[in-house]
Chain A
Amino acid sequence: MTREITLAKAVNEAIAEEMRRDPTVFLMGEDVAEAGTPFKVLAGLVDEFGPERVIDTPISEPGFVGMAVGAAMTGSRPIVDLMFGDFLYLVMDQLCNQAAKTHYMSGGKLKVPMVLRTNLGATRRSAAQHSQSLHALVAHIPGLKVAMPSSAYEAKGLLKTAIRDDNPVVIFEDKLMYQDKAAVPEEAYLIPFGEAAVLREGRDITLVATSSMVQVAQQAAEALAAEGISAEVIDPRTLVPFDEATIVESVKKTSRAIVIDEGHRNFGVTGEIASRISEKAFYHLDYPVQRMGAMDVPVPFSPALEDLTVPTPDAVARRAGAAVRGELADAA
């Protein structure tokens, strides 16, 4: 049985199911209990599990993420809620030096089975310090897994897998998608890490898109279909581990690729994926691999300007059309 639920509800269900299944799972963060987070994602959990397992923390990200790392090392499975992805800068030592390296530094004696839930995404008029998409920062660090759900279905399945993983996992939800609905089965399910989803098959060009950009790519593919161009859309689902094979196989078939991600373009996720395609599918490429990401500027508060900083379906379709027609790329 499936029904349509919001991404917020899917996350709530994932956490509730895992907390019922495993008494060592608990939740902590700012406003997670009484307020249920500013996005109302966690509403009601404290009623079922009580304040011992749904813990409101003081406003001290370094403090409570450090506590979660310690709790995870000593047998609990904490889910930490980081209210905005932008606050990652505050917890870099706890996450990148401690959580990511403890298993290695202890010779495998300690595990850190924690989940850091946070978000990404601009065009919410939240200005430069609450609109960033910083997943590239953590994907860069060995020892951290990174999941990027693109719908309610993905959010639930990936979060449940993250909670059961014995390694630290950072999961980025798109804060503009919390109210977006998708079909989600009633029954419990998991989505394994490292398996990309081919959301639409095509023969002329491959659109690799993450998180918020998946629906942009799908809308672009619709527009391209009307022009007679057949685009394949692939969602990698997790950046670490990364399903290179599915993407490389697709590009070998289509000969062209555009990588779309809401992080900044410079030194980021699009560069990494484009580079892997170029390395592994070079002799199959008929056009330079294209990258589309957020403009390399602080996210503007002005709505008119903010909207210009992220890729749109129209921009993706135009770029794809030029690639398929063999029009000169900047690089040529």
Chain B
Amino acid sequence: MPHEVIMPALGMAQDSGVIVAWLKSPGDEVKAGDALMEVETDKATMEVEAAHDGFLADVRAAEGATVPVGQIVALIAETADGAGEAPAPAARTEDGPKPDDEGALPEGHQVIMPALGMAQDSGIVVAWLKDAGEPVAEGDALLEVETDKATMEVEADRAGYLAAILAEERDDVPVGQVIAVISAEAPATPVRRAMSAAPAPARQEAATAQPDAAPDKGAERPAPPAPRPKGPATAAAPAGRILASPKARRLAAEEGLDLARLAAAGYPQPFHVADLETLRALPKSAAPAAAPAGGEVGVISAEIDAAAYDDFRAWLATATDTPPGGPHLLAAFAAGAMRAALGAEGTLTIAAGALGAPAAMDDADLAPLSAVPAPSEASPALILRDLTGTALTAVKPAAAPVPQLTVTRRGDTLALHLAHDAAALPEEAALALVAGLADRLSEPLRHLL
């Protein structure tokens, strides 16, 4: 297809140019960058260069002619004999509606998106200064157009009525496309609509205009953010030093709280103000790891390689664009194992958490793995503590009216400990639960099948 050569706007306020001389003749081979013609404006005489390789064809304006900006003065054909090729778009500024326009347009003179710069191929409609149906005088500013260089007003080149507006504000309109119609008679039904063709994507203003991106995202998120998904990435404190925010340190000092006790209990650092709540609740003497042994509580332990579980968590976080799952993810595996171990039917409630109060959730094994299940009111059949993000290695509760399953980590090893009262959970079911969970965590993908 031949490329069009138009009269460029060489100055800001220029609406036509005089062709002083053609520097190439029809049929001449031209290379992009070759000077094609000399154009004189009210400010200067400049050479206009070819934008494409090809052959100069169909020269439509003679030397000495005054040509409106944006009008085609010649074509650059792809072949030497392409001079006869028809130009791609029909003449742009002729009167009368375009035959291929969908919808009936009022008759009249068509206003096109002008070329305001040399390298401009579209312009953004900033604002219409006249509304559809309004009378216009020659020279009246019709609209403001923004290009990559400037914002300018486009004037009516004849008097009449603005019968149709065919591009709305913010539309990015290719140069030469019809954006309005000026009719001689007052239009019975003025037309106003956005650019009919699928508009070129409006420029994205990352900095200033993403009105819906952020709120939408907010709406999609589950309402309460996970309380403290600190994850296992604990900052390594140099020996003997405790990492804490300045405010947490100041408040601890004011209240006479010792942050070292939090560190000794294995809570992840750095400590923030929220951790002081845990510190206040910490029993004065006994460290959790040294909890007294119970009488009728049985403990079943298992150790597995953490690699498969770690890989699965990382993959899930990437695949679903969510923070790496913590207690609720383990709860999903545990619920599956427990359902199988008990042969239970119906709703299965598990309370899961790290160090804080565990949150009860129903049927964690049936919920999507990426989301934290909604809280449940039901009393749990199992309490699950995910201590993988802490330094704790084993917990043995004094009593376990509800079976308590603890998952701890030492290096690349995950340890499972199930503390259960035989009255609440028979030995066989407890063994099946721990073995089943160990299997699932060793091969997490099996759980998905």
Please state if A317 and B214 are interface contacts (CB–CB under 8 Å). Answer: yes
Chain B residues, CB < 8 A from A306: 206
For residue B149, give the distance in angstroms from its CB to the closest CB of chain A: 6
Assuming the contacts A38-B149, A122-B207, asked whether A219 and B223 have C-beta atoms less than 8 A apart, the reply is no
Please state if B149 and A226 are interface contacts (CB–CB under 8 Å). Answer: no
Please state if B230 and A327 are interface contacts (CB–CB under 8 Å). Answer: yes
Interface residues on A, range: 35 or more
Closest A residue, CB atoms, query B253: A283
Chain A residues, CB < 8 A from B248: 286
Does A67 reach chain B (CB closer than 8 Å)?
no
Chain B residues, CB < 8 A from A283: 246-247, 249-250
Q: What number of residue pairs across chains A and B have CB atoms under 8 A from each other?
A: 135
Does A244 reach chain B (CB closer than 8 Å)?
no
In whole angstroms, how far apart are the Cα atoms of A317 and B217 in the complex? Answer: 10
In whole angstroms, how far apart are the Cα atoms of A125 and B231 in the complex? Answer: 40
7 contacts between A and B (CB under 8 A): A38-B12, A38-B151, A174-B208, A179-B126, A283-B250, A287-B245, A328-B270
Shortest 5 CB-CB distances between A and B: which pairs? A226-B218, A38-B150, A223-B214, A307-B206, A313-B214
A121, A255, A311, A325: the one contacting B225 at CB < 8 Å is: A325
Assuming the contacts A212-B208, A310-B207, asked whether A285 and B214 have C-beta atoms less than 8 A apart, the reply is no
Chain B residues, CB < 8 A from A284: 246-247, 250
Please state if B243 and A332 are interface contacts (CB–CB under 8 Å). Answer: yes
For residue B298, give the distance in angstroms from its CB to the closest CB of chain A: 37
Please state if A326 and B214 are interface contacts (CB–CB under 8 Å). Answer: no
Please state if B206 and A312 are interface contacts (CB–CB under 8 Å). Answer: yes
For residue A225, give the distance in angstroms from its CB to the closest CB of chain B: 8
Chain A residues, CB < 8 A from B126: 179
Chain A residues, CB < 8 A from B205: 123, 176
Does B13 reach chain A (CB closer than 8 Å)?
yes
Chain B residues, CB < 8 A from A126: 148-149
Does A20 reach chain B (CB closer than 8 Å)?
no
Given contacts A38-B12, A176-B207, 4 further A-B contacts (CB under 8 A): A222-B215, A317-B218, A327-B230, A332-B243
Mark B residues whose CB is within 8 Å of A: 12-13, 126-127, 144, 146, 148-153, 203-208, 210-211, 213-215, 217-219, 221, 223-226, 228-231, 233, 235, 243, 245-250, 270, 272-274
Chain A residues, CB < 8 A from B148: 124-126
Chain A residues, CB < 8 A from B230: 326-328
Please state if A314 and B217 are interface contacts (CB–CB under 8 Å). Answer: yes
Please state if A228 and B223 are interface contacts (CB–CB under 8 Å). Answer: yes
* 8 A Cβ contacts from A224-281 to B: 224-229, 255, 262
Please state if A223 and B218 are interface contacts (CB–CB under 8 Å). Answer: yes
Chain B residues, CB < 8 A from A180: 208
Assuming the contacts A326-B230, A332-B235, asked whether A123 and B214 have C-beta atoms less than 8 A apart, the reply is no
B127, B204, B223, B246: the one contacting A307 at CB < 8 Å is: B204
Please state if A227 and B221 are interface contacts (CB–CB under 8 Å). Answer: yes
Does A154 reach chain B (CB closer than 8 Å)?
no
Chain B residues, CB < 8 A from A327: 229-231
Please state if B273 and A286 are interface contacts (CB–CB under 8 Å). Answer: yes
Chain A residues, CB < 8 A from B12: 31, 35, 38
Please state if B203 and A313 are interface contacts (CB–CB under 8 Å). Answer: no
Does A177 reach chain B (CB closer than 8 Å)?
yes
Chain B residues, CB < 8 A from A123: 203-208
For residue B320, give the distance in angstroms from its CB to the closest CB of chain A: 16
Chain A residues, CB < 8 A from B215: 219, 222-223, 226
Does A39 reach chain B (CB closer than 8 Å)?
yes
In whole angstroms, how far apart are the Cα atoms of A33 and B268 in the complex? Answer: 65
* 8 A Cβ contacts from A150-197 to B: 174, 176-180
A220, A262, A286: the one contacting B272 at CB < 8 Å is: A286
In whole angstroms, how far apart are the Cα atoms of A225 and B126 in the complex? Answer: 32
In whole angstroms, how far apart are the Cα atoms of A313 and B208 in the complex? Answer: 8
Chain B residues, CB < 8 A from A176: 205, 207-208
Chain A residues, CB < 8 A from B219: 226
Mark A residues whose CB is within 8 Å of B: 31, 34-35, 38-40, 121-126, 174, 176-180, 212-213, 215-216, 219-220, 222-229, 255, 262, 282-287, 303, 306-308, 310-314, 317, 321, 325-328, 332
Please state if B210 and A326 are interface contacts (CB–CB under 8 Å). Answer: no
What secondary structure prevails in chain A residues at the interface with B?
loop
Please state if A328 and B233 are interface contacts (CB–CB under 8 Å). Answer: yes
Please state if B214 and A303 are interface contacts (CB–CB under 8 Å). Answer: no
For residue B11, give the distance in angstroms from its CB to the closest CB of chain A: 9
For residue B13, give the distance in angstroms from its CB to the closest CB of chain A: 6
Closest B residue, CB atoms, query A328: B233
Please state if B153 and A40 are interface contacts (CB–CB under 8 Å). Answer: yes
Closest A residue, CB atoms, query B224: A228
Please state if B207 and A285 are interface contacts (CB–CB under 8 Å). Answer: no
In whole angstroms, how far apart are the Cα atoms of A31 and B151 in the complex? Answer: 13
Please state if B235 and A328 are interface contacts (CB–CB under 8 Å). Answer: yes
In whole angstroms, how far apart are the Cα atoms of A326 and B389 in the complex? Answer: 15
In whole angstroms, how far apart are the Cα atoms of A303 and B201 in the complex? Answer: 11
A34, A222, A223: the one contacting B13 at CB < 8 Å is: A34
Please state if A219 and B272 are interface contacts (CB–CB under 8 Å). Answer: no
In whole angstroms, how far apart are the Cα atoms of A328 and B215 in the complex? Answer: 25
Assuming the contacts A38-B150, A178-B151, A286-B272, asked whether A314 and B213 have C-beta atoms less than 8 A apart, the reply is yes
Please state if B210 and A285 are interface contacts (CB–CB under 8 Å). Answer: no
In whole angstroms, how far apart are the Cα atoms of A122 and B205 in the complex? Answer: 9
Closest A residue, CB atoms, query B245: A286
Please state if B247 and A255 are interface contacts (CB–CB under 8 Å). Answer: yes
Chain A residues, CB < 8 A from B210: 219, 312-314
Chain A residues, CB < 8 A from B146: 179
Closest B residue, CB atoms, query A133: B207
In whole angstroms, how far apart are the Cα atoms of A262 and B207 in the complex? Answer: 9
A34, A255, A308, A317: the one contacting B206 at CB < 8 Å is: A308
In whole angstroms, how far apart are the Cα atoms of A284 and B214 in the complex? Answer: 29
For residue A131, give the distance in angstroms from its CB to the closest CB of chain B: 11
For residue B142, give the distance in angstroms from its CB to the closest CB of chain A: 14
Please state if B214 and A222 are interface contacts (CB–CB under 8 Å). Answer: yes
Please state if B221 and A286 are interface contacts (CB–CB under 8 Å). Answer: no
For residue B173, give the distance in angstroms from its CB to the closest CB of chain A: 16
Please state if A314 and B247 are interface contacts (CB–CB under 8 Å). Answer: no
Chain B residues, CB < 8 A from A213: 207
Quick one: which of A180, A213, A285, A308 has the most chain B CB within 10 A?
Answer: A285
In whole angstroms, how far apart are the Cα atoms of A164 and B126 in the complex? Answer: 32
Closest A residue, CB atoms, query B204: A307
In whole angstroms, how far apart are the Cα atoms of A324 and B233 in the complex? Answer: 17
Closest B residue, CB atoms, query A313: B214
In whole angstroms, how far apart are the Cα atoms of A89 and B209 in the complex? Answer: 29
For residue B395, give the distance in angstroms from its CB to the closest CB of chain A: 24
In whole angstroms, how far apart are the Cα atoms of A258 and B218 in the complex? Answer: 19
Chain A residues, CB < 8 A from B273: 255, 286
B127, B144, B207: the one contacting A121 at CB < 8 Å is: B207
Please state if A35 and B206 are interface contacts (CB–CB under 8 Å). Answer: no
In whole angstroms, how far apart are the Cα atoms of A215 and B206 in the complex? Answer: 11
Chain A residues, CB < 8 A from B144: 40
